Amino acid sequence: MNSPTQKAPSLQATGGTALPRGSALLANPLLNKGTAFPEEERDALGLRGLLPPRVFSLEEQLVRAYTNFKRKSEPLEQYIFLTLLQNRNETLFYKLLETYPEEMIPIIYTPTVGQACLDYGVIFRRPRGLFISIRERGRIAEVLRHWPQTDVRMIVVTDGERILGLGDLGVLGMGIPVGKLSLYTSCAGLHPSYCLPITLDVGTNNESLHDSPTYLGLSQTRVRGAEYDAFIEEFVTAVKQVFPKTLLQWEDFGNTNAFRLLNNYQKRICSFNDDIQGTAAVALAGLISALRITGKPLTEQKLLFLGAGEAGTGIADLFTTAAVAAGMTESDARARCWFVDSQGLVVQDRLPNLAHHKLPYAQNHPPLTSLAEAVESIRPTALIGVSGMPETFTDAIIARMAEFNERPIVFALSNPTSKAECTAEAAYRMSNGRAIFASGSPFAAVDWKGQTFVPGQGNNVYIFPGVGLGALVVEATEITEQMFLAAARTLAELVTEDDLALGRIYPSLTRVREVSVLIATAVAKEAIHSGLAGLVIADDQVEDAVRQSVFHPAYRPYI
What residues act catalytically? 109, 180
Contacts 24+ apart (CB under 8 A), 228-237: 228/202, 228/257, 230/137, 231/134, 231/137, 231/200, 231/202, 232/200, 232/261, 234/137, 234/138, 234/140, 235/132, 235/140, 235/157, 235/200, 236/265, 236/268, 236/269, 237/141
DSSP conformation class of 132: E
Query: Is residue 388 classed exposed, middle or buried when 0-12, 13-18 and 19+ CB atoms within 10 A define those classes?
Result: buried
Contacts 24+ apart (CB under 8 A), 353-358: 355/255, 355/308, 356/259, 357/255, 357/259, 357/308, 357/310, 357/313, 358/308, 358/313
Distance CA 3, CA 5 (A): 5
Contact (CB, 8 A) for 154 and 181? yes
Q: Which residues contact 17 (CB under 8 A, 6 or more apart)?
A: none
Distance CA 558, CA 15 (A): 12
Contact (CB, 8 A) for 195 and 158? no
Radius of gyration of the chain (CA): 24
CB atoms within 10 A of CB 148: 9
Contact (CB, 8 A) for 401 and 375? yes
Helix (H) or strand (E) holding 303: strand 303-306
CB burial readout 217-250, b (16+ within 10 A) else e: bbeeebbeeeebeebbebbbebbbebbeebbbbb
